[in-house]
Amino acid sequence: MKVSDPYFSTDRAVDRMLDWYELHKSLIVAFDFDDTIYDYHKKGYDHPKIQNILRKCQSAGFTLIMFTTDESPENLKWKVKYCADLGLRIKYVNESPIMPTTKKPFYNILLDDKAGLGQAYEILNQTLTVIKERTI
């Protein structure tokens, strides 16, 4: 039986994340910086839900990758420090831990204000909840 668009389902996305976690005992979580964890456009927005879930991911031993279009060494250094001040240790910046020689970044999930942030947050939150329940 053929299944149409299997990854449109949040439940299937969570299952896929859990399968990867079971196999590798970790996940790779990528996130955008501007307007995802930092109010780049100065609109008065704050981002505690994303910042908190990234801290939970870090506590679970996940790898955090920050992607940003900014490539200025000075700005990148500031952004990494900003993350550190939030309690986030960034393992990679604008690079992929798997297949580093390709242009396509690798991650299990991407948190980005321009890429379905709400659904990605929900998938990640549900995944963390199941992992926590399984380890208790």
User: Looking up tokens 């449109």, which residue turns up?
Assistant: 8
Q: What is the mean pLDDT of residues 17-36?
A: 96
20-135: CATH class? alpha beta
pLDDT on residue 136: 63
Q: What is the mean pLDDT of residues 22-48?
A: 95
pLDDT on residue 3: 75
User: Percent of the chain scored above 70 by pLDDT?
Assistant: 99
pLDDT in tens, 81-123: 999 999 999 999 998 888 767 778 899 999 999 999 999 999 9
Cα–Cα distance measured from residue 34 to residue 36, given in angstroms and rounded to the nearest whole number: 5
Extents of the domains making up the chain: 20-135
pLDDT on residue 99: 74
Q: What is the mean pLDDT of residues 45-68?
A: 96
pLDDT on residue 59: 96
The answer to whether residues 111 and 29 touch, using CB atoms and an 8 Å cutoff, is: yes
Cα distances (Å, whole numbers) of residue 24 to 3, 17, 31 = 26, 11, 20
Of residues 104 and 64, more confidence is placed in 64
Q: What pTM does this model have?
A: 0.92
